Amino acid sequence: MLRIAAGLLGLALVASAGAGAVASASATELTAAPETTESALVPASEATPAADVPAAGEQAPAAPPATASSTPAPADDLATAAPPVEPTSVPAPVEVPTIVPTPDSTLQPTSAPPVAKILPQAQALAVAATPLTCQNGTVYTIDSDGTLLLVNTNTAAQTTIGDISSNNDLNALALTKDGQYAYAVRDTASNNGNMTVYRYTSATGVTNSFNGVQNLQEEDGTFVMGGINPATGFYYYGRVIDNRLELYGFNTTTNTSIGFVGSIAITTDSAGVARTNGDLVFSSEGIMYFVASSNTTASNSNALMRVSQQLPTAGSNATLTATLVSFLNINNQQKQFNGIAFDGGFLYLDTSGKDFYKVNPSTGAVISTSTLQNGAPVDMASCQYNNTLQVQKNIGARVVSTDQFKLTASVGTTEIGASGTTTGTSTGLQTGPGTFASSVPISGTTITIAETGPPGTALSQYTANWICKDQGDVTVASGTGTSGTFVFPQSTTSGVNVTCVITNQPLSAQVTVTKTWVNAVAGDKASFSANGNAAQGSSTALTNGNVITTTFPQGTTVNVAEVLASTNKGAYISALRCTNAAGTLVATGVLTGSFVLGASNVTCAYTNTNAAATVVVAKKWIVDGKAYDNGQQPQGISANLTLTGPGTAGASNQAWATVRSGYFAGNSVSINETTSFASPMKCTLKSSTLTPANATTTSVALPHVATLAAGANSYTITNTVDCITELTLLKFIDNRNGGSLVPGDFTLTAKPAGGTAWNVPGAMAVTDSNTESVTAGVNHTVSESSALKPAYLQLSMQRYAGTLNADGSLANPNAWVDADPTTVSVATGHHGVYRFVNASAPALTLPLTGGTGTSAYMLAGGGLLLLAIFTTGWIVFRRIKAHRP
């Protein structure tokens, strides 16, 4: 009967307006796109009368179960919402299960593009179109028959604006942010499961229809919620089936359906009744809020929820979650809300029984109640937006990795909206679901934001500051500490969106790294770090002192490290000691150390002690190809070793094969020697090389500067010496008895033991012709001979014990000593001179006067001769006789 009455009212309005008020849809509005069919809709007066049944959007109040109670709801009342607000806290949201559309509710594809229901073009309403307004004090309701009414929120007075679509059982009313258009859908799908989206143009009063979601197989669900996201312009409408809110989308730019976008689980209230009614809105930033409403007296029967995610702008099967803002406890009355809208920051709700409520959205408290006089509203909308408050946490660092922070917003001592608690170990701004507090405050309200530390978190170890800014990045308030108070800014039609960020930084303590070099090699280097690249320093020997001074938050695990340069000459033993201000040892190590920084400053001292080194140099000789240990080399050959250091000491003598200490690894020592040969040795130093005994390096010439390794450093100097060893044989004849022999009458011979004899002509002076090179120390047997076979006297064999002049002449002709001709040898590098001393044989002489005379001698001689012959004969005769048989 309501539809019939509406039709009669439409006829009356047309008659009173006259023919001049009749308008028709433009050609553009009447021409459908290939995939979208739109048509102007007939006024109610020309529509086919409907059956006399209750309006589609007017859900009759459902009787509560026999066991229903008005006691507070349990904590698990909403799958996506927290339990009822308590005086001091808001419970955390309950996790929402993933929703996968069942076969009876999913969209089924069709072989042809979906086509909306085609309605014939008709005259517009005779009533002149009234543009929709977004000014304060105004919301709009829609009846199921499509009548759009303006409601003055101050007086609840109503003004009819127009008719969106007669007799189409509309619901899910939504306005664009500029008030140019109003959108709605039929509250149920057509028999074939197709939905139609209706767009009302406020400037002309003309309604166009478009294809909504098509082929819904579950047709008994009622679409009761609708809203336009001002951030994207998309229109969303939804229904509650099986305790989940299904959401569908429509692109208002292309006028095409995007289909199913996601769902949100909604549990029953504490009386066990499903929340099947309600409405949805968006903030100016595109955050969706909705009221889920049942029809009981339970204190949690009506809940204002905030969706945690942005709604998709393309078809999807997203599982969305929501957190509780507040329970709308309408004085424990049994009220089920059809529509919601915001005006001036307050939440307005209506029922099909014409109840009109003004509510504080942050607390759920009823501010005023009115009764609408006209129509039976099934939904409500406005193009104003609610205020929002979001309290977020910015974590500079955690003192303990498990530290977490709970965030709240309160009015007085009453916590409003949903609290948030951080999770995990990440730092920076926390943005995950449930990590921030959110509410819908009223402008002019004094808001207190605060953070608390859950068990195990000590806020006293952190600094805290906070700042609140609006959507224009204008600072609303700021301060220090873990809480702050400010007056929420005055609302505009777009609402005020305030984001408060509480930033925590652990209290800091200072870390100092010092360096001490001990016995270091100048120029050696070391680099240092504290927590990697966080702080770095370096040191060059021999400079001691601080290399790093930095701060870290208390509770930070500090890792200090030293790296010694690979080019260092020293061999360092490192030691690390970290102590706090009280002198307590907090870490030890060699090159690295780790500790947890407390409230006290910490000093980490690195000491690098260079290892001791010693030097010892051995001596080897190679003389004329024969090797000798030092001390065993030929007499007259020697060398003197010199070493520099330790420290800055210059070169000084050092005994061979004797250790010199006092050095350190990396020190330089100059090793040198002085080689000498006793005069008049003819020896030459061919080479002098240094070989490290404990290394594999090649021998080097002297002098050599060596870099010492840690410990013993052994070297050997080898000298190669070539010597000229010569033997000269001379002949000296004493002719004082009147002989005529000369040295040249003789040949002098020397035969080395085991060798070949060699000959030289006799001579008185040293010349090349009577001088031969010989092997040192080898005995020679010397002799003389003469082809003339003269009679001579060999007086002696002599060795010259003096020195030779440069020209080979004897410096001291009298420096002769007797020698054995069978053991003539020459020492290494020396020139041995030996001589044979002879005299001519003298002639026998008889006296010329006096004495016995020669005759007597002749007779005596003859007698002796005869005696000798007789004696010899007698001896022979005796031997023959003795052997005769």
All structural domains of the chain, each given as residue ranges with its CATH number in brackets, are 138-381 (2.115.10.20), 388-460+482-505 (2.60.40), 508-610 (2.60.40.1140), 612-721 (2.60.40), 726-840 (no CATH)
pLDDT of residue 873: 58
pLDDT of residue 735: 85
**C-alpha–C-alpha distance, residues 751 and 729, integer Å:** 12
Tell whether the model's pLDDT for residue 39 goes beyond 60. no
Rounded CA Rg of the chain: 63
b/e map of 404-441 (b: 16 or more CB within 10 Å)?
bbbbbbbbeeebbbbbbbbeeeeeeebeeebbbbbbbb
Tell whether the model's pLDDT for residue 743 goes beyond 50. yes
pLDDT of residue 433: 84
Q: Give me 446's structure tokens.
A: 């004094």
**C-alpha–C-alpha distance, residues 280 and 88, integer Å:** 28
- The pLDDT tens digits of the residues spanning 775-813 come to 999 999 999 999 888 877 888 999 999 999 989 899 999
E-only strand ranges, 64-129: none
pLDDT of residue 741: 86
pLDDT of residue 866: 65
**C-alpha–C-alpha distance, residues 389 and 403, integer Å:** 24
Contact 508/551 with Cβ under 8 angstroms?
yes
Q: Give me 757's structure tokens.
A: 């004899």
Tell whether the model's pLDDT for residue 17 goes beyond 50. no
pLDDT of residue 61: 38
pLDDT of residue 76: 37
For CA atoms 96, 238, 380, 384, the dihedral sign is positive
Residue range 555-579: mean pLDDT, rounded:
95
pLDDT of residue 845: 56
b/e map of 793-818 (b: 16 or more CB within 10 Å)?
eeeebbbbeeebeeeeebeeeeebee
Tell whether the model's pLDDT for residue 28 goes beyond 50. no
Tell whether the model's pLDDT for residue 180 goes beyond 80. yes
Tell whether the model's pLDDT for residue 754 goes beyond 60. yes
Contact 262/234 with Cβ under 8 angstroms?
no
Alpha helices in 637-716 (DSSP H): none
**C-alpha–C-alpha distance, residues 876 and 871, integer Å:** 9
**C-alpha–C-alpha distance, residues 6 and 15, integer Å:** 14
pLDDT of residue 739: 78
Residue 500: which residues within 8 A CB-CB, separation 6 or more?
389, 390, 391, 392, 409, 449, 466, 467, 468, 484
pTM of the model: 0.56
Q: Is 260 helix (H, G, I), strand (E, B) or coil?
A: strand
pLDDT of residue 46: 35
DSSP 98: P
Residue range 821-844: mean pLDDT, rounded:
89
pLDDT of residue 101: 36
**Secondary-structure percent of the chain, ordered helix, strand, coil, rounded to 5:** 10, 45, 50
* Nearest alpha carbon to residue 214 among 119, 118, 116: 116
Q: Give me 729's structure tokens.
A: 């044989």
**C-alpha–C-alpha distance, residues 263 and 168, integer Å:** 26
Residue with tokens 């509250």: 187
For 789-850, give the DSSP string: ---EEEEEEEEE-S-B-TTS-BS-TT-EEE--TTSB---TT-EEEEEEEEEEPPPP---SSS
How confident is the prediction for the chain on average, in pLDDT?
Answer: 83
Confidence of residue 80 (pLDDT cuts 50, 70, 90): very low
Q: Give me 136's structure tokens.
A: 């304060």
Contact 248/263 with Cβ under 8 angstroms?
no
* Nearest alpha carbon to residue 431 among 472, 476, 395: 395
pLDDT of residue 802: 93
- The pLDDT tens digits of the residues spanning 423-448 come to 999 999 999 888 999 999 999 999 99
Instruction: For the beta carbon of residue 871, count every other beta carbon within 10 angstroms.
Output: 9
pLDDT of residue 792: 79
Lowest mean pLDDT among 328-337, 465-474, 596-605: 328-337
- The pLDDT tens digits of the residues spanning 209-249 come to 999 999 887 666 789 999 999 999 999 999 999 999 999 99
Question: Is 609 exposed, middle or buried (CB count within 10 Å of its CB: 0-12, 13-18, 19+)?
Answer: middle
Residue range 686-691: mean pLDDT, rounded:
92
* Nearest alpha carbon to residue 829 among 755, 760, 774: 774
Lowest mean pLDDT among 122-136, 189-203, 641-655, 803-817: 122-136
pLDDT of residue 863: 56
Residue 231: which residues within 8 A CB-CB, separation 6 or more?
282, 284, 285, 286
Lowest mean pLDDT among 396-410, 525-539, 629-643: 396-410
